[in-house]
Structure 1
Amino acid sequence: MNSIFNQLLNVKGTVVETVRVVDSPLRPVPVLEIHVRPRAGMLRCSRCGRRRRGYDRGGGVRRWRHQDFGCWRVELVSGMPRVDCPKCGVVVASVPRAEPGSRFTRGFEAECAWLMTVADRKTVSGFMHVTWRTAGDIARRVADRLRASMPCPFDGLTAIGVDETSYRKGHTYVTVVVDHERHRVIWAHDGYGREVFDLFFRRLTDEQKASIKVVTGDGARWIDSCVAEHCPNAERVLDGFHIVSWMTGALDTVANACGTMPGAAATNGRRNACAASNTPS
C-alpha cells in the first residue's frame, strides 16, 4: 500500500510510512493524512542547500497541504530533523517537497499557480480551498522559482521589436519588447516613450546591448533616439504594417490633391455633364 502512495504522491526523496483518514470535529472535512520521511542520505541545509550531517530529530512535526486525491484533502506529515552545517550552523533540514517556510507542497503550489493563469484569484482560492491572499503568495513563489531556474531572457538577443499598445479602452499604455528569434515577450512596462524604453536598456549589460543587431518598430522618434544611444551599431528596421499604412495614406493624399486641381476639376465637370446628357428625362 505504501508503495502505491509513493507513486501517487510523486514526491522525490520521500518515503511513505503510514496512511490514515482523520475525521475530527475540529476539521471541516475529513483529511487523508500521510506520514512521510526523507530518504537516507538526503539531508541538506535549508539555507545553503549542501548535504550535511544530521544533528537531531528536531522538535515536533510539520504538515504540508498536498494536491487532493479525488474528494479527499491530503496532508503530508513529517518530522523536521536538523543538520549541523559548518557555514550556517544548526538549522532545520530542507525538504524536497516544499519551499522553506511554505505550508504547501511544490505540486500543490504548481497546480494553484497554473489555475491562476486561466482564472481570477477569487475563483482559484475557492476551488483550492485557500484564502485569497494565500493564492497570491503561492503564485509569487512559483513565479520566483521559475524565474530563478530559467536562463536570463536578455542573453543572446540579436533581433528585437518594440511597440506600445493600449488597454482599458485606450486609457492606459504599455510598452512591449519581443525577441524575434525566440518568438516571445522578454520585457513589458507601463507607459510609453523614451523614458520607458530607456528602462529596458538599463536592465541590459554592455555585452547584451552589443549583441543586438536589429531593432524593429514604428517610426517613433523616441525609438530612434534610444537605439542610437544604447545600440549604435544596430540596424533600425521599420515594420511592414506601418510602411503599408504610410504608403496608403500618401496615395490618398496625392489622390485628394489631384482631385482639387483645375485640370482635374474640368475633367470631372465634363464627365459629369456627359453623364447628365445621357440620362433619360
Structure 2
Amino acid sequence: MRVSTAFNRLLQIPGAWVDKVVIGDRDVEVTLRSKSRLLNCPCGQRVSAGYDRRQRRWRHLDLASHRLWLIYDIRRLSCPNCGVRTEEVPWSRPGARHTRDFEDTVLWLATRTDRTSVATLLRCSWETVTAIINRTVDELLDERRLGEIYRIGVDEICYRHPHKYLTIIGDHATGTVIDIQPGRGVDSLTTFYDKLTDEQRADIEAVSMDGSTAFRSATEDKLPDATICYDPFHVMQWTNRALDEVFAAAMTTNRADFNMSSGQWRKTRTALRTGAERLNSARGHLVETITAQNHDIGTAWRMKEQLRQLFRITHPARAPRYLRRWIRRAADSGIRPLIQLARRLELHFDGIINTIKLGISNALIEGINAKIRLINARGYGHHSAKALTSMIYLCLGGLNPQLPTRT
C-alpha cells in the first residue's frame, strides 16, 4: 500500500486527499490537494478562478510521538461580493492555524482541566490554548440564543479582587448563560438589554434578581412591562442578618446573663439561623433556651420562621395579605433591626409576591455562579475578563464541544 493511500485512510481529511508525506524525526508533514475545483468564499459564494496562492501549515492531532502538520497551497479568490478573500478549507476554521479536530480537542479538554495541562498534553503553548478558546467561542456562540428568552435571571460575581465583577444573565428555560457583561452597575445590564431587539425585549415576561437597586433600575427602564422577581434566598439572607443583629445586641447588653464562650456563641448563632424543621435535639434545646431567656431574640427568631413560611404557601393568592401582616408586626415590634427589615420588604413588596406567584427564584443563577467559581479556581484565576468570559460561555453557554473521535 502506498504511503499516501495509508494516510488518506488514517486521516480522512474532509474535502482533500493526501498528495505527499514527509516523515521526519519529530514531525510528519502531509501535503494536501483539494478535491473541489471551486473555491469557497467565507460569504458562501463559490468561485472558479483563483487570485493567487500561498503555502500554509495547520497543526493536526499528533500521530504517535510525532507532531502532524497539514500543508496546502491555500488560494485567494476574487469574490464578486467581498473582493479579494482567502478561500475557506473544510478541515480548518477561517483564520486558524490548527485543524478543527485539534481545536475541538482543545475545547473538550478545557472544559475539564486547566489550560496548562491542555497545553502540556497537546504539546502547544498556553497562549495557543487561550487563543483557540477565545476565537472558537466567538464563532460558535450563536446569536439565536437571544431569540427565544422569556424568563431570565441576573446576578453578579466577583472574579478577581479588589472589586472586579461580571454581570451574568441566564435563561431559566435552558439553564444556560446567554450573556456576560463586565461590571455590576446599571450600565452592565443596560448594555445587555440594548443588544436585544424591540421584539426580544417585549418577549421577556419575568426577570429574577437579588435586591440590587442597579439591576432593578435598568430593568424598569428597558423592560417596563416585565415582572421583577426577588430571590427568596436573598430575602431570607436579609432576615438572618437582622436576627444576627438582634442576637449580637442582646449578647452585648446582657453579657453577664448569658456567659457564653466564643465557641458557644457561634453554635447558638448557627442554631438560630437554621430552619426549625432541621434542628436536631441539641440545637433545638439551645434555641428554646436562648429564645426563652431573651424576649428580643425570641421575637426575632419567631418572625424569621414565620417569614420562611411565606415561600411555602400553597395558595399564592394569600401571599400579599400574609406578607403585609408580617411587615406590620415587624414594624410594631419595637426592635430596630426588624423595623429596618420591614421597611426593606415594603420597598420590595411587589417583587417578593411576584416570586411566589410565578414560582421563580435565582437558584439557577446562584448555581451558575458556583460553577463559575469552580472554573476560575480550576484555571488558577484568569488574567482578564475576556479569558474568563470565554471559559464561561464554553462550559455553561450550551456549546457542548465534542471530541472528534466521537461520532
TM-score by length of 1: 0.73
2:33 corresponding residue in structure 1: 37
After superposition, residues 9-48 of structure 1 pair within 5 angstroms as 9-23=11-25, 29=26, 31-45=27-41, 47-48=42-43
Residue 44 of structure 2: aligned partner = 49
| Structure 2 residue 206 is the aligned partner of structure 1 residue 210 | no
Instruction: Give the 5 Å matches for 1:187-226.
Output: 187-226=179-218
Structure-2 residue corresponding to 1:177: 169
Partner of 1:243: 235
Label 1:52 to 1:212 Cα distance change in 2 as closer, same or farther (>3 A): same
Following superposition, the deviation at residue 3 of structure 1 comes to: 5.2
| 2:135 paired residue number | 141
Q: 1:55, 1:90 within 8 Å by CA — same for their partners in 2?
A: no
Once residues 127 and 245 of structure 2 are traced to their aligned partners in structure 1, the CA distance between those partners, rounded to angstroms, is 56
SS in 2 for 1:32: strand
Paired residues of 1:53 and 1:84 also in contact (CA < 8 A) = no
CA distance in 1, matches of 2:104, 2:207: 36
* TM-aligned CA distance change 1:59 to 1:242, over 3 Å: closer
Higher strand share: 1
Contact 2:22 2:28 in 1 (8 A): yes
Which of 64, 71, 93 in structure 1 is aligned with 2:58? 64
For structure 2, list consecutive stretches of 5 or more residues without a partner in the other structure.
Answer: 251-290, 300-407
Structure 1 residues 3 and 240: CA distance shift in structure 2, 3 A? farther
Q: Determine the C-alpha separation between the residues in 2 that align with 1:89 and 1:199.
A: 34
**Alpha carbons 1:175, 1:189 under 8 Å: kept:** yes
User: What does residue 267 of structure 1 align with?
Assistant: none
Q: Would you tell me which structure has more helix in proportion to its own residues?
A: 2
In structure 2, the partner of 1:160 is 152
Of 176-185 and 62-71, more deviation after overlay is shown by 62-71
- Aligned pair count reads 252
- After TM superposition, give the deviation of residue 113 of structure 1 in Å: 3.6
Summarize the Cα distance change of 1:18–1:252 in structure 2 as closer, same or farther, 3 Å threshold: closer
In 1, Cα distance between equivalents of 2:115 and 2:240 = 45
Partners of 1:20 and 1:204 lie apart in 2 by 52
- Does the Cα contact within 8 Å between 2:167 and 2:189 map onto a contact in 1? yes
How much has 1:39 moved relative to structure 2? 0.9
Q: Which has the higher contact order (CA 8 A, sep 6+)?
A: 2
Q: Secondary structure at the match of 1:152?
A: helix
Deviates more, 1:228-237 or 1:90-99: 90-99
Mapped partners of 2:75, 2:207: distance in 1: 54
Tell me whether 207-216 or 3-12 shows the greater mean CA deviation: 3-12
Given that 1:13 and 1:42 are in contact with CA atoms closer than 8 Å, whether structure 2 keeps it comes out as no
* AA in 1 matched with 2:49: G
- When residues 139 and 246 of structure 1 are mapped into structure 2, their CA distance, relative to the original with a 3 A threshold, is closer
Shift of residue 184 of structure 1? 1.1
Q: Does 1:127 align with 2:127?
A: no
Q: Distance in 2 between matches of 1:82 and 1:167?
A: 43
| TM, length-normalised to structure 2 | 0.53
1:49/1:94 contact within 8 Å kept = no
- The one-letter amino acid paired with 1:62 is R
Residue type of the alignment partner of 2:135: R
Distance in 1 between the 2:105 and 2:195 partners?
Answer: 31
Give 1:109's aligned residue. 103
Distance in 1 between residues matched to 2:79 and 2:62, nearest whole Å: 35
Q: Which has the larger radius of gyration?
A: 1
After TM superposition, give the deviation of residue 155 of structure 1 in Å.
1.6
Cα root mean square deviation, aligned = 3.4
Deviation (angstroms), 1:179: 0.8
Deviations, residues 178-234 of structure 1 (Å, cap 9, x unaligned): 111111112233432333322222222222111110111223333332222111111
Structure 1 residue 7, shift from structure 2 partner: 4.5
